[in-house]
Structures are given as C-alpha cells and as structure tokens.
C-alpha cells in the first residue's frame, strides 16, 4: 500500500498571472487560493470554464486538489491540464483523468511529475455555475512511513452534531444539527532524521502560519477519502523514538465530506 500523501505547498499564489473565463460579482478568482472555505471563485455562467495560470517559468507538479466546492451538486467535473506553450490550441495535455465529485467532498489527484510553465483547471458544469473555495497544485509530500496502528479514517468520523430539543415534561420536540469538523491526528514513526529535516520541517513551517493542507491517508485502497485540514495550535516537535530514528505527529481539524 502506498504511504499517505500530503499536499500543502500550493504554487497557485506564486503564479505570475491568473486568468479566468469569468467571475460572478463577489466571487473573485483570488478566493480559490486564500486557504479559506467560506469564500469562492465562481464563473458568471455554467458550461466549460477555465482557471489558467502562467508561472513565468516551469514549475514541477505531481499533485493537485480541490475543496469547499459544489461541483457534485451541479454534476460538474474538474480536470487539470498543462501546456508547453500556453497557446491552449489543442497542444494541452490532461494531467490524469477528470474528477467528478459526488457532492462537496475534498478530492486529491496525484501523478507523474510534470515541469511546465502553463497550467489550467478545466471545469465543466452543465446545470449551473460551480463555486470553488480551494484549489491547490504543486509537489506532494509522500510520507516515508505507513500509517500507524490505531489511525481513525476521517471518512468514517461523525459529520453532524445533534442537539435534542425537549419540553419541561421531557417530551421530544425535535432535533437541530450542525456540521462538525473532523478532529484527528497523524503519527509516523521510524523516520530518518535527515528526511524529517528535509521534508517534515517545511510542512510544519507552512501549517504554523495557519494555512491549509490536504491529506490522502490511503492512496491505493481509498483514493477518494481526502481531508482538507488545518493544524491545531499544539504543533508537536519531532522526537527521537529510537536513538537514530524519529517520530512526527500532527493534530488537525478538517473537512472530509
């Protein structure tokens, strides 16, 4: 089984230029890369639309993700493409297959690394224009160890928090509910100290700034189970579990579906 994948170092904020097919009022393209899940980019009409990025020079990409969207509600699909020239005149190449979410769940796709200057997302929404709050693409972090025993899949976690309403006589009057963030942790053991310093430390520098990341715990068996997450305040320092090997761990809040 492939080890867990984390996508955090999104290149989109560093793009030289970003152009979109259209923007509905109040739904600017910048909203798709500010890490937040309450604001969105949305085109002004349904159909085939594009979110196009010119990075000024070739950048390496082997993973991308989408979260905080209504693609599945609208029966829409999203596809990452790249171009060697930026002409987008038939020379473009698909990075993997198009993704068609079931509802609003986060999705993450990985593939063979491509180093290109021009990238775009192709979104096809037949029913209505789809809104997207989080887009990411860049180089993924594949953990150098498998999941620890005891890991709890976010996809199986409680999603709603009910409140039972009752009368003075204990009559059940109904129930209200609210969506509940996933609360979980990831722990990895028996890691080389050099790997931790090279790979885990940059990830921690990212999340300690309050930026989001995506987790795909079981890429082979359950590739659609993805969480868009933020680290909790108590970010743990890597420790030596053995004299020559280290353990890392992170607690997080997240959205899994």
Instruction: Report the residue count for the chain.
Output: 257
Name 66's Cβ contacts closer than 8 Å, sequence gap at least 6.
78, 99, 101, 106, 107, 132, 134, 135, 136
Predicted TM-score (pTM) of this structure: 0.94
pLDDT tens figures, 127-152: 899 999 999 999 999 999 998 888 99
Measure the CA–CA gap between 32 and 40, rounded to whole angstroms.
6
Per-residue pLDDT at 173: 82
Per-residue pLDDT at 124: 98
Measure the CA–CA gap between 137 and 114, rounded to whole angstroms.
11
Residues of the chain with pLDDT under 70: 1
Q: Which residue shows structure tokens 């993704």?
A: 99
Structure tokens at 2: 């492939």
Measure the CA–CA gap between 85 and 89, rounded to whole angstroms.
9
Per-residue pLDDT at 176: 85
Per-residue pLDDT at 1: 54
């Amino acid at each position: 089984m492939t080890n867990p994948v984390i996508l955090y170092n999104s290149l989109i904020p560093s793009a030289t230029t970003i152009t979109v097919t259209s923007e509905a009022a109040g739904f600017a393209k910048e909203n798709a890369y500010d890490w937040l899940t309450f604001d969105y980019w949305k085109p002004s009409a349904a159909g085939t639309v594009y979110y196009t990025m010119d990075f000024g020079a070739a950048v390496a990409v082997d993973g991308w993700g989408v979260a905080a969207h209504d693609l599945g509600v609208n029966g829409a699909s999203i596809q990452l493409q790249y171009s060697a020239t930026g002409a987008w005149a038939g020379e473009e190449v698909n990075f993997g297959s198009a993704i068609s979410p079931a509802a609003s769940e986060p999705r993450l796709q990985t593939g063979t690394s491509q180093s290109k200057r021009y990238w775009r997302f192709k979104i096809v929404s037949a029913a209505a224009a789809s809104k997207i709050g989080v887009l990411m693409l860049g180089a993924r972090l594949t953990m150098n160890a498998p999941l620890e025993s005891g890991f709890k899949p976010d996809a199986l976690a409680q999603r709603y928090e009910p409140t039972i309403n009752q009368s003075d006589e204990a009559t059940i009057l109904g129930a209200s509910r609210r969506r509940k963030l996933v609360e979980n942790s990831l722990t990895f053991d028996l890691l080389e100290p050099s790997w931790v310093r090279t790979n885990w430390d940059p990830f921690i520098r990212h999340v300690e700034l309050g930026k989001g990341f995506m987790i795909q715990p079981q890429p082979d068996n359950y590739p659609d189970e993805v969480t868009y997450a933020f680290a909790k305040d108590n970010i743990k320092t890597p420790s030596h579990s053995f004299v020559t090997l280290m353990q890392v761990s992170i607690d997080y809040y997240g959205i899994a579906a």
